Amino acid sequence: MKKIIITSFLFFLCSSVFAGNTELSRQATAFYSDNNPTKTMDLILQINEKERTSQDWLLLGNVIADKGEADNALYMYQKAIEKDKKCYRAYYNIGNYYMDKGQFDKAIENYKKAVSIKEDNPYIYYNLGCAYMKLNNYKSAKTNLIKAITIKPAIPEFNYNLAFVYKKLGNNKLAETYMENYNKLVNN
């Protein structure tokens, strides 16, 4: 009987800690959404590292990145992926990290991982297209920019960059079409 009571107590204690962590994570996400990075970080840091979710690590990375600590943010994104290999936002943010560092091949590698998980996010395709543009691989850039526009056609930058890519590929007619789309979107 004593073992059952102790086991029940330990189960209750673990459940309470888990429920508390879930609530801290939920609150941290809410504060992050309200643009309160200090409170977000304070709440997540109350959670034991082993018990943090991929979302917790991702938010920590975002808060730290916003403070200009890109290398520390990279570590947080890697921790998010350790917790959940399907955390496409972490791969996307790592891709952004490498874009900022001018390491376009590594950026492409991470954007490809992100898009393999989340195929309907136009910004992943857009950034992938931009990375290919940096490498002067305009055919791959075109493919990804078209995918971005197919998903979300009303983003001016998508159209502008696709116009640029078509110009580089020597297709002036399509370059003009996408430049017209860009101008319409900017002026509306």
The predicted pLDDT at position 161 comes to 98
Identify the pLDDT of residue 20.
55
CA-closest candidate to residue 139, choices 149, 150, 128:
128
What are the residue ranges in the chain where pLDDT is below 70? Answer: 1-20
Please, where are the H alpha helices in the chain? 2-33, 37-45, 54-66, 70-83, 88-100, 104-117, 122-134, 138-151, 156-168, 172-187
- Name every residue whose Cβ is closer than 8 Å to that of residue 52 and which is 6 or more positions away in sequence: 21, 25, 44, 60, 79, 83
Say what the pLDDT of residue 122 is.
98
